[in-house]
Structure formats: structure tokens, C-alpha cells
Amino acid sequence: MKHKEMSERTVRKLIETGIDLFSKQGYMSTSIDQIVKKAQLSKGAFYAHFESKEEFLIRILRESFREYFEGLQHILDRKNQNLMDSYMESSKLTLKESYQKGFSQLLLQSAMVSRQLPNVHEKLKALIDEWRQNLIPYFDEMKKEGLINKTLDSERIFTAGVALFMGYNIQHYIDEQVPLVDMMEVFLEILQSDRLMKE
């Protein structure tokens, strides 16, 4: 096996292990020793790719968001489709996969500790802003096509969507009988409502 392939495999194994441990134990309660032990790798292998645990978390967040963006855009950019149906299909799939892989829990954990980790905080803000900028054009297009209420502000739609995503994930984490996919039905009701409540 070539060195590059081995390096990529090592990083992938570390990331998968990091998501698993951070999502279950929390960032602060997980050590690099625990990560490398569970991944069956050496500490040297970790430091060959990451300078610190904080940089490692940032890489995990960046990779996870990238996978989400690519999956979403692949579905939403298909030709001859109902944009709303495609958005709902993609979002339901993402909700389930994110939770099963531990990314939803990791995102919640990261948000909780990010104020104590300025670099993580800035990166998380940038990633969420990128998420916003990726979705707003689709919301605008849905408004043009009459699929959602044209009076709704696309930025506020995004903010409401993230709030629902986080809220449903917290509830599902506490009580698995709260179905994650219900979030999308609630979000659809908001998108198709007659008006957006003003603050």
C-alpha cells in the first residue's frame, strides 16, 4: 500500500473514532490516548496528522460538513425535479445518517464547548455560515417556484431550520421515541405557512 493511501486510511480511522468518542463522552472528557487506543494506532500516528486535539476536532467538523454539503447539492442539483421534494428527501436522509454516525451529537457537544475553544468557535461559525450560504439560494428558488411562502426571509428560514435540527436532536438523544424525521414535517409547515411571526 502506498504511503498516501496509508495516511488517508489512518486519518479516516482517527476521524471515525474521534466522532464516536466525542459524541459519546464529550470533547473535554476524551483524551488523545483514548482515541489512539480505540483506533489501534500510535500517538505518533495521531501527531503525524494533527497538531492538537483542538485541530483534530476542527478537521472532523470540516469533513462532516463537507460530506453534508456534497450530498445535499448532489440531490438538489438534479434536473427536472421538484425542489421541495428533493430537499425533504435529502434532509430526512441527512437527519438519520448524521445521528447514526454520531455527527449530530458531536455538533451539539462542539457547540457547548466552543466558547472555551476560540479556534473551534470561529470555525464552527464559519461552517454554519457556509451551510447558510449553500441553502439560501435553494430557499430563494423554492419561493420563486411557489413551493414555499414568498414572504419568508431565507436567512430566517435557515435559522429556524437549524434550531429545529438541534432541538429535535437533543430531544431524540434524551428520548429515542421522539422521531427525528418529524422535524422535517414541522419545518415544511413553517415553510408553507401564510406568514412568519415577527419578533
Q: Tell whether 59 is covered by a domain.
A: yes
Q: Residue 2's pLDDT is what?
A: 65
Q: Tell whether 168 is covered by a domain.
A: yes
> Do residues 45 and 62 share a domain?
no
Q: Write phi, then psi, for 178 (nearest 5 degrees).
A: -80, 110
Split into its structural domains, the chain has a count of 2
> Do residues 81 and 171 share a domain?
yes
Tens-digit pLDDT profile for residues 97-139: 888 888 888 888 898 899 899 999 999 999 999 989 988 998 9
Q: Tell whether 106 is covered by a domain.
A: yes
Q: Tell whether 4 is covered by a domain.
A: yes
Using alpha carbons, select from 99, 83, 18, 6 the residue that is nearest to residue 48.
6
Tens-digit pLDDT profile for residues 14-53: 999 999 999 999 999 999 999 999 999 999 999 999 999 9
> Do residues 174 and 82 share a domain?
yes
> Do residues 29 and 59 share a domain?
no
Matching residue, cell 450560504: 133
Q: Under 8 Å CB-to-CB from 134, ≥6 apart: which residues? A: 69, 72, 73
Q: Tell whether 198 is covered by a domain.
A: no
> Do residues 33 and 63 share a domain?
no
> Do residues 63 and 34 share a domain?
no
Q: Residue 145's pLDDT is what?
A: 87
Q: Residue 132's pLDDT is what?
A: 92
> Do residues 153 and 80 share a domain?
yes
Asked if 192 and 149 count as a contact pair (C-beta separation under 8 A), the reply is yes
Which whole number is the average pLDDT over 147-155? 90
> Do residues 27 and 57 share a domain?
no
> Do residues 42 and 111 share a domain?
no
> Do residues 42 and 76 share a domain?
no
> Do residues 57 and 145 share a domain?
yes
Q: Tell whether 119 is covered by a domain.
A: yes
> Do residues 34 and 92 share a domain?
no
**pLDDT band (50, 70, 90) for residue 1:** low
Among 12, 31, 50, the domain-final residue is 50
Q: What domain range is 31 assigned to? A: 1-50
Q: CA–CA separation, 114 vs 124, rounded Å?
A: 8
